[in-house]
Chain A
C-alpha cells in the first residue's frame, strides 16, 4: 500500500461548530474511532489564537492527544488572508510575515507539510521557500475545484516551482477537482429547497457541459429562472459549480513527483463501498501505484449541505477508509 490513511479534523466541522468537543477531546475521538494514523487540522479552525497567540497549554494538550492516540501529524492547513484589511490588502512582505508563524508553528508541532492555497504570488513563494526549508516543512499548494492539475492558475504555479526548484515546494491534490457526478445528497438538498425535477435535470446538464464553471452556472441560472424555479435553490446551486470540478483523475499522474500530501475529499460512500460522485477506484490506482508512499487525509465535506443530525462525520469517515482500503488492496 502506498497511501497511508488519516483524517482532517475539517471533516468534523459540524460537530466542532456545535461545540461538542474541545481539541484534545476531538483528537481522542479520532483515535478511539481508529480514523488515523494521519491527522491534519486547519490552524484557524482548531487553534484559538492561531498562529501567534496559541497558549503553551493548548499546544501541549494537542501534542499529548496526538501522541497518546498514536496518531501522526500530516498537514497543518494555513490561510493567506490577504484581504483581512478591506482598505489595504497585504503587500508581498506582509504576506510573508503572515505566513511565517504558520509555517514555523507547523514545524514546532511536528507537521511535515503546510497546506497553502492558490493565490500565493510568485514573489511570496520565493520568500517563503527559505522559511519552509529552515522549519523543515513542505509547502503543499492545494489543487481544489474548480482548479485541476492543468488549469491556468496551477500551470502558473508549476512554472514558478520549476524556476525556484526546491524540494520544499509541492502540491496537495484535492479530489474535488475530478468528480464524476454531483453528490446525490446535494441534489436532495436542492430538491428540499424547492428545485423541481426539471430544474435538477437542467442543473445536471449544465454541470456536465463543457466550459468554465461560472459560465455553466450562468447558463443554468438563466434557464432555471425562465422555468420559474425558486430563487433559493438557484442561488444555492453556485456551490455545485465552485465545489465540484470535472477534471480527469488520470491527469494527477503528471503532478506525482511534486505531491506532498493528498486530500481524500468525498461526499458520499454507498453500501457497496463506492462513492457515486468521485471515482476512487481510479484515484487509488493513480496514487497507490506510485513508488512514493503518500499520506491522505479523508476529508468529508458533506457538512456543506448536511447537518450533524443527518450524517455523523465519524461514521462516514470510517466508511471512506473502508472504501479506500478495498481499492488499495
Chain B
C-alpha cells in the first residue's frame, strides 16, 4: 500500500563499475534510528547479493547490515534516501530496464506487541526501473 509507494523511486538504481547503488526510502511515516533496520535484501534483474556483501552508505560512512544494529543515534530521516551498495559482477548498462525487488525488515521501536517483542514490519516492493 501507500507507505510502500515511496520506497523505490523511478531513478533509484544506478550502475557502477562494481555493481549498483540503490536509493531506498523508509516504508514508515516517521524517521527511525538505523538500529531499527534489521534486514535489507535486493534483487536486480534476477541477481542477488549475500547479506554480508551489501553495504549501507550514511554520512560518508560505509557499514554492513550487521553493523546497523549498533547505530542507535544515527537517524534515517523519513524524507531522505539511504544508499545501498550492491555488488554485481556484470551490471546492466545505463538505460537498461530491470525488474527490481526490495525487501526490508524494520523494527518499529515503540509498537510493542508482546513481552519483549516490538513489531517488525516487513516491506516488499517490486517494480520495473530504468538503470541510471
Contact = CB atoms under 8 A, between A and B. Distances in A.
The B contact surface, by secondary structure, is mixed
Given A17-B3, A18-B6, A83 B33 contact: no
Contacts of A10: 29
A85 B72 contact: yes
A77 B87 CA distance: 40
A83 B109 contact: yes
A136 to B, nearest CB: 25
A14 interface: yes
A45 B110 contact: no
B69 interface: yes
Nearest to A214: B113
B36 interface: yes
A45 B29 contact: yes
Nearest to A236: B1
A86 B38 contact: yes
Q: Which of B29, B35, B112, B116 lies at the interface centre, i.e. has the most chain A CB atoms within 10 A of its CB? A: B29
B16 to A, nearest CB: 24
Contact of A83 (B1, B77, B110): B110
Interface string B22-49: 0001000111110110100000000000
Nearest to B116: A89
Contact of B29 (A17, A86, A306): A17
B2 A86 contact: no
B31 A45 contact: yes
A83 B118 contact: yes
B20 to A, nearest CB: 22
A84 B36 contact: yes
B110 A117 contact: yes
B72 A82 contact: no
B75 interface: yes
B57 interface: no
Given A16-B79, A45-B31, A303 B2 contact: yes
Q: Which of A10, A86, A306 lies at the interface centre, i.e. has the most chain B CB atoms within 10 A of its CB? A: A86
Nearest to A13: B29
A84 B29 contact: no
Contact of B2 (A45, A82, A306): A306
A48 B110 contact: no
A86 B30 contact: no
A87 interface: yes
A49 interface: yes
Interface of B: 1-3, 5-6, 25, 29-33, 35-36, 38, 69, 72, 75, 77-80, 107, 109-110, 112, 116, 118
9 contacts: A16-B79, A19-B79, A44-B30, A44-B31, A50-B31, A84-B36, A89-B116, A117-B110, A308-B2
Interface of A: 10, 13-14, 16-19, 42, 44-45, 48-50, 53, 79-87, 89, 117, 119, 189, 236, 303-308
The 6 A-B pairs with the shortest beta carbon distances in the complex, nearest first, are A83-B118, A45-B30, A81-B109, A44-B30, A83-B109, A84-B109
